């Protein structure tokens, strides 16, 4: 959520930065509300100070010999009671204005970082680097063809179980999914991440804190009888792991990795990728998440991205790093690097991880601070997929396909899977 002080004192900055995202917003009315709220706060503080002084005067007068029931003391008490009523009225007005501002600001996306390139859409994203040699040859199959041929999953029967855009992994497919999850978690915990297995159901406050609500309510699955939702990403429960807390500065950075199933309605809204593992309503993902000191967030962004890249490199999967432009930036992100893995069967790079620094945007929504010296300030949060498991499997199938119809797996995953090959040798 955006800073109310910035809205009050420099709305032009907010407007200009949101314009970089393609949003044209008149903040005049909200600025007036923010200034009125501050004026009321100043009036209330002044009255409270006067009330405290009057309380002291009553005690002093009585101690000096004044009649506790006399006119002098009673006049002070009457003024004190009047101040209490005025303060109560001002507090109610402040609360109403505060809620009005929060309801408005919570719908605004994060301001892009200065380093984020300007652009209108994904066509303006900037390629930063490439790693590995993309396999390019004719006659290669796409992952969904390989998976169906080798019996790695069942799509049609999954519609009977649930609906379209769900899939049931079978045999070697289920085993490879499990192997990839364990491999990714082991890689990240070896780098010092704390493994977390959070609840899959999350409440509205958790979704609001991370930025999914209210904007993405229609893209999420909600339980009918409870204030609970199926988590769209482990970023949501990990953000709320320290919601409304003050973290000692010496504990920063806090680095977590978590495996969760993820659930998103939007998977079916795309015209392509209607087969296989790329766009599903339910998919598995290993998430990386940092709480860090604001002074270190830029360096942390590079680190979290490198940790995601290292999974691809260890699995020998060619990829490229893309920096998202302002027009393609996620709601909560200030700056984002997408990692796109090469799928030789499809002949294209496809997103497999998105690594974002959110600044204090999520921390303000979720009230997460750290204590340094005598004061507190908001932490910075970062998140990144480390990695999306189904898309990693798709990449392994396409990059490892052999002329005899089998799939050769990278050496790093073979001990987890129990073999270096799927299908006939």
Catalytic residue among 91, 351, 406, 421: 351
Q: What are phi and psi of 290, to 5 degrees?
A: -125, 140
For residues 320 and 113, the answer to whether their CB atoms sit within 8 Å is no
Active site residue 35: no
Cis peptide before 387 (omega within 30 of 0): yes
d(CA 33, CA 31): 5
| Distance, C-alpha 80 to centroid of its chain | 48
First to last CA, the chain: 55
CA distances (Å), 122 to each of 117, 119, 125, in order? 11, 8, 5
d(CA 304, CA 381): 11
Three-class secondary structure of residue 39 per DSSP: helix
- Burial of 147-165, coded b for 16+ CB within 10 Å and e otherwise, reads bbebebbbbeebeeeeeeb
Alpha helices in 106-250 (DSSP H): 143-149, 156-161, 171-190, 204-210, 235-239
Catalytic residue among 243, 321, 365, 391: 391
Q: Which residues contact 16 (CB under 8 A, 6 or more apart)?
A: none
Catalytic residue among 8, 21, 44, 264: 264
Helix (H) or strand (E) holding 391: helix 389-400
What token pair was written down for 134? 């993309």
Active site residue 321: no
Sign of CA pseudo-dihedral 276, 398, 328, 296: positive
Active site residue 204: no
Active site residue 391: yes
Catalytic residue among 279, 335, 364, 369: 279
What token pair was written down for 237? 């429960």
d(CA 249, CA 370): 6
Catalytic residue among 297, 332, 354, 385: 354
Q: Which residues contact 9 (CB under 8 A, 6 or more apart)?
A: none
Q: Looking at the annotation, which residues are catalytic?
A: 264, 279, 351, 354, 391
């Amino acid at each position: 959520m955006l800073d109310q002080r910035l809205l009050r004192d420099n709305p032009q900055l907010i407007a200009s930065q949101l314009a970089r995202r393609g949003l044209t917003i008149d903040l005049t009315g909200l600025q007036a509300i923010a200034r009125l709220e501050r004026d009321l706060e100043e009036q209330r503080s002044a009255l409270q100070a006067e009330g405290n002084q009057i309380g002291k005067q009553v005690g002093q007068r009585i101690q000096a010999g004044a009649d506790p029931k006399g006119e002098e003391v009673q006049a002070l008490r009457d003024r004190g009671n009047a101040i209490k009523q005025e303060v109560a009225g001002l507090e109610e007005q402040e609360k109403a204005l505060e809620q009005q501002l929060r309801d408005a600001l919570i719908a605004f996306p994060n301001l892009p970082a200065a380093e984020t390139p300007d652009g209108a859409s994904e066509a303006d994203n900037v390629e930063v680097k490439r790693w590995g040699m993309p396999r390019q040859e004719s006659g290669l199959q796409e992952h969904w063809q390989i998976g169906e041929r080798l019996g790695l999953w069942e799509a049609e029967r999954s519609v009977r179980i649930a609906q379209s855009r769900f899939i049931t992994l079978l045999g070697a497919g289920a085993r490879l999914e499990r192997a990839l999850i364990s491999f990714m978690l082991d890689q990240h915990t070896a780098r010092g991440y704390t493994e977390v297995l959070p609840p899959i159901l999350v409440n509205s406050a958790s979704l609001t804190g991370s930025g999914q609500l209210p904007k993405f309510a229609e893209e999420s699955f909600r339980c009918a009888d409870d204030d609970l939702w199926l988590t769209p990403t482990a970023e949501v429960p990990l953000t709320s792991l320290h919601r409304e807390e003050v973290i000692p500065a010496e504990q920063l950075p806090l680095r977590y990795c978590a495996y969760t199933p993820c659930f998103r309605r939007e998977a079916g809204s795309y015209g392509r990728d209607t087969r296989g593992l790329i766009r599903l309503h339910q998919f598995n993902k290993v998430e990386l998440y940092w709480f860090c000191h604001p002074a270190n967030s830029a360096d942390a962004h590079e680190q979290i991205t490198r940790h995601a890249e290292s999974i691809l490199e260890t699995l020998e999967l060619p990829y490229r790093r893309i920096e998202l432009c302002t027009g393609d930036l996620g709601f909560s992100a200030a700056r984002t690097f997408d990692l796109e893995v090469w799928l030789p069967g499809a002949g294209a790079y496809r997103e497999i991880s998105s690594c974002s620094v959110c600044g204090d945007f999520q921390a303000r929504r979720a009230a997460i601070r750290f204590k340094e010296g005598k004061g507190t300030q908001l932490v910075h949060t970062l998140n990144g997929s480390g990695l999306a498991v189904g898309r990693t499997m798709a990449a392994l199938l396409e990059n490892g396909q052999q002329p005899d119809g089998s799939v050769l797996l990278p050496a790093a995953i073979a001990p987890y899977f129990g073999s270096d090959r799927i299908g006939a040798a």
